[in-house]
Amino acid sequence: DTGVSQDPRHKITKRGQNVTFRCDPISEHNRLYWYRQTLGQGPEFLTYFQNEAQLEKSRLLSDRFSAERPKGSFSTLEIQRTEQGDSAMYLCASSLGAYSSYEQYFGPGTRLTVT
């Protein structure tokens, strides 16, 4: 079990460019979450997938943000026309949909800097 992986770990982009991040969850986990974390704050929920279905989306996720999980395995988060306010750590987490505690396991994150 290699854990949750995210790619890239760091991304620097110019304002107005599009960026895409990838998350590979733990292999048997059917739930996948995206969060955004700014300096000094706890992670903020962005969106959640159960298998390939996007079941919930935060109001924080503007029209410039889109997430997919096409085959219920890896997921991508795309930000179009990036703004400086998008600079943050983007975290992915996965969990097993068993009737227990729904524990989330996080990846190392992708640090986005918009210049």
Binding residues for other proteins, per CB under 8 A?
4, 6, 31, 33, 35, 40-45, 48, 50, 55-56, 91, 93, 95, 101-109, 111
Q: Nearer Cβ to other proteins, position 54 or 80?
A: 54
Tell me how far, at minimum, the Cβ of 16 lies from other proteins, in Å.
26
**3-class SS at 46?**
strand
Q: Which residues contact residue 109 at a Cβ distance below 8 angstroms, ignoring those fewer than 6 apart?
A: 6, 9, 37, 89, 90, 91, 92
Tell me how far, at minimum, the Cβ of 37 lies from other proteins, in Å.
8
End-to-end C-alpha distance for the chain, whole angstroms: 36
Q: Nearer Cβ to other proteins, position 50 or 73?
A: 50
User: Are 114 and 15 contacting, i.e. CB atoms less than 8 angstroms apart?
Assistant: yes
Q: Nearer Cβ to other proteins, position 82 or 94?
A: 94
User: Are 46 and 66 contacting, i.e. CB atoms less than 8 angstroms apart?
Assistant: no
Tell me how far, at minimum, the Cβ of 28 lies from other proteins, in Å.
17
